[in-house]
Structure 1
Amino acid sequence: MIKSFFFNVLLILGSLVIFTLMLEGGVRLAQAFDLVPVLDRKSLSVLGSTSEEHSAKLVVSKNSVLALEYDVNDPQINRFGMRDRPYELSASQGVSRIVAMGDSVTFGLGVALENTYSKKLELALNQEAPAGQSFQVMNFGVSGYSTDSELELFQLKARLFKPDVVVVGYAMNDPIHTSSLALAAAATMKTDTDFETLAKKSQLLAWAKMNWVKATSGLNAMSVYESFYAIESERWTSVVESMKSFKLLAQDDGFHLVVVVFPVLYDFEDYPFEGYRQQVLTLLNELDIDYIDLLDPYSEFRADKFRVMQNDAWHPNELGHKIAADKLQSYLEDAGLLVHKNETVK
């Protein structure tokens, strides 16, 4: 009877192995005919883009608040650490300057420089500018930056350009300190590498793992963010104090301040970050800081229409940047900050 039991167990296990191998073979055959995609290290990228295109090299900063800076030896980065063309500190006569502070969304991770909202805005403004007037929109976005890192970078570098308008791009992960995001990015890279190893061994197991991670990532993200948005937490306090400092700098220097709030690219109809979004908007209202909330204009499309990569819920593609640029242009016009072609430049 014992031999019969073990024989039946081995028979079941053997059948499962054969069935699994047949499924694996079926998946590989379907991939050979392009019926299903081949999974690789990029397929697991649920919480951020792993695209190396339209990115730049980051190095450790000596400044602990910045934590990271772009390598000025990277061909995409100018001598001031911007993903932008070279600039002189002093603007020529008739030039109005706008600086865009932010993280990888403002940097434009995954999209060409000319398709970022800063450059789309610059092009649109210059097309409408009268003779003798032009605009420079400077991209100071740095991947991984938190609001306090953006404030520090503004005070160290962007402020030197004496901007007329300062745009702060706010993403929902901005309370998280830059150094913490750097560690998370390193962990993500290891996870992607492990997934790539698994995918080489079995596309079937890789598919199962990918779908499990996708199914649980939203819940995991929400539980993590609760601590960062807790009212008395150190990280939310840093956002509050940084926004207060931006407001004071605007008053001292005489520039116009506006915050652009980017949504996370999840289901807009049942937006899981709605509570945090309202918390940010309430803060900006309390501080009397102008803002542009992009959730409503983005909601005219499905969230996945904005993603630079299928599984990247953070970084908007060219469409997302175009909407942000259009809304900023309309805001600047409504605020009376633009001179039109039929007006005289003084």
Structure 2
Amino acid sequence: MNVKIKTALFGILSTAISLVVSTGSLELYARLAETDGSNFDIEMWRYAKDLKRVSDIPEVGHEHIPGKSGVYMGVPVTINSAGWRDREHAVEKEDNNVRIMMLGDSLTFGWGARPEDITSYRLERLLNEKMNHFEVINTGIGNANTAMEVSYFIKKAYVYKPDIVVVNYFLNDAEITPRRTKNFFLENFYSAVLIAGRLDVIMRKFFWKDDWRRYYHGLYGGDQPGWSAAQSALKELVNYCATRNIKLIVVNYPELHELSPYPFQDITGLVASKAEALGIPFLDLRPSVENQVPKSLWVTETDAHPNGKAAGLYADTIVQFLMTRYPEMFGDTTPAEDTYGRK
């Protein structure tokens, strides 16, 4: 073997070894330094990997694995036997109980919030302060959209026969239904998730990828398929609930980065108009938090999912809405707490 070939082989081997060592070092760093619960991308990836599975109903997309648990964003998450981040609920409700089922995404799920700091938990507690016959079921799942949530209810969760269905709506509920794609690196390596997250930030900040404001607005422009699917799903849900005497409301959750002036009021108005056209009562939660410092409502300094303070304000507003809209069901259930949900 001549000297040139030996040199070339040595160079290839050295490069390969360097790549392996560098990749191994990055993976070790990601596992040791980025798993303290503060890295949103890695925590959301772990949650999806540990607690989710592809649903046997294609329209649902993905669902939780019953009985699984873990710690994500530094808070415990336990999935009950039905596949919800909630306590156990009997299929048959107790006599005289009013059962409310919350459909939604990671905001409803309570991403990054302690179990007692989730809106559904606060809502049930407030309702039962004076009249102990209310049951709130939280079916929220991260990265779901309205079409997925409606399909899940009509094809699976309907057996719980709620008296009221609450569609908790957020800006990205007009996204198309995500499909899980198999990528060896993103399925198995923390470092790949870390790099992908950093690249996404760079692309949004310096290159052509839309920032979050343009992205959300883009979901509603023209005949966007996700928004069309959301509208069709709401129409289907209206018909389903009407034939079964189930009350239906849409509750709109604000994007908490910037509240006043709010950059998405046009989208809120659009969703409200569609709900009104379908005859669905609509509640916008932004007025309940618009005078708050945005970061005081976040679960962490870098994650704008609602924390316990926001959940308390939201729950109080929903209680007032339910009392006004359905006095025959809720009567005087004014909670004996302040607007932060504290006793």
TM-score (norm 1): 0.72
- Residues 278/93 of structure 1: CA separation in 2 closer, same or farther (3 Å cut): same
RCO greater where, 1 or 2, for CA within 8 Å and sep 6 or more?
1
Taking the aligned partners of 1:339 and 1:269, their CA distance within structure 2 comes to 33
- Residues 275/340 of structure 1: CA separation in 2 closer, same or farther (3 Å cut): closer
Report the residue type matching 2:306 in the other structure: P
Taking the aligned partners of 1:191 and 1:299, their CA distance within structure 2 comes to 40
Q: Return the match for 2:296 from 305, 319, 340.
A: 305
- Residues 244/139 of structure 1: CA separation in 2 closer, same or farther (3 Å cut): same
Match of 1:243 in 2: 234
1:288 CA drift (Å): 2.2
- Residues 102/172 of structure 1: CA separation in 2 closer, same or farther (3 Å cut): same
Q: 5+ unaligned residues in a row in structure 2: which ranges?
A: 1-32, 70-77, 335-343
Q: 5+ unaligned residues in a row in structure 1: which ranges?
A: 1-38, 199-205
Taking the aligned partners of 2:232 and 2:55, their CA distance within structure 1 comes to 22
Match of 2:62 in 1: 68
Match of 2:151 in 1: 152
1:254 CA drift (Å): 0.9
SS in 1 for 2:171: coil
Q: Return the match for 2:320 from 317, 330, 339.
A: 330
Taking the aligned partners of 1:49 and 1:87, their CA distance within structure 2 comes to 28
Q: Return the match for 1:288 from 279, 295, 300.
A: 279
- 1:142-166: CA deviation from partner (whole Å, max 9, x where unpaired): 1111101100111123221111111
Match of 2:14 in 1: none
SS in 1 for 2:319: helix
- Residues 188/323 of structure 1: CA separation in 2 closer, same or farther (3 Å cut): farther
SS in 2 for 1:308: strand
The answer as to whether partners of 1:103 and 1:146 remain within 8 angstroms in 2 is: yes
Q: Return the match for 1:89 from 88, 91, 95.
A: 91
The answer as to whether partners of 2:177 and 2:226 remain within 8 angstroms in 1 is: no
Q: Return the match for 2:118 from 102, 116, 119.
A: 116
- The structure 1 segments of at least 4 consecutive aligned residues displaced by more than 4 Å after TM superposition are 39-46, 48-53, 186-192, 194-198, 209-219
Q: Return the match for 1:230 from 209, 221, 227.
A: 221
**Percent of aligned positions that are identical:** 24
Give the greater-gyration-radius structure (CA). Answer: 1
- Residues 78/62 of structure 1: CA separation in 2 closer, same or farther (3 Å cut): same
Matched positions, count: 289
1:309 CA drift (Å): 2.0
The answer as to whether partners of 1:49 and 1:110 remain within 8 angstroms in 2 is: no
The answer as to whether partners of 2:108 and 2:140 remain within 8 angstroms in 1 is: yes
1:43 CA drift (Å): 6.4
- 1:209-267: CA deviation from partner (whole Å, max 9, x where unpaired): 99967856995223333442124222111111111122212211112111110111221
Taking the aligned partners of 1:219 and 1:244, their CA distance within structure 2 comes to 30
Taking the aligned partners of 1:187 and 1:269, their CA distance within structure 2 comes to 41
Match of 1:162 in 2: 161
Match of 1:316 in 2: 306
The answer as to whether partners of 2:204 and 2:210 remain within 8 angstroms in 1 is: no
1:189 CA drift (Å): 9.3
1:278 CA drift (Å): 2.0
Report the residue type matching 1:333 in the other structure: M
1:63 CA drift (Å): 1.7
Taking the aligned partners of 1:248 and 1:210, their CA distance within structure 2 comes to 40
Alignment of 1:1-346 (within 5 A): 40=34, 45=40, 50=44, 57-75=51-69, 76-129=78-131, 134-179=133-178, 193=191, 219-313=210-304, 315-335=305-325, 336=327, 337-340=329-332
Taking the aligned partners of 2:185 and 2:239, their CA distance within structure 1 comes to 37
Worse-matched range after superposition: 222-231 or 297-306 = 222-231
- Residues 100/196 of structure 1: CA separation in 2 closer, same or farther (3 Å cut): closer
1:197 CA drift (Å): 7.6
Taking the aligned partners of 2:300 and 2:45, their CA distance within structure 1 comes to 8
- 1:261-307: CA deviation from partner (whole Å, max 9, x where unpaired): 01112211233323322221221122221121011211111222211
TM-score (norm 2): 0.73
1:40 CA drift (Å): 4.7
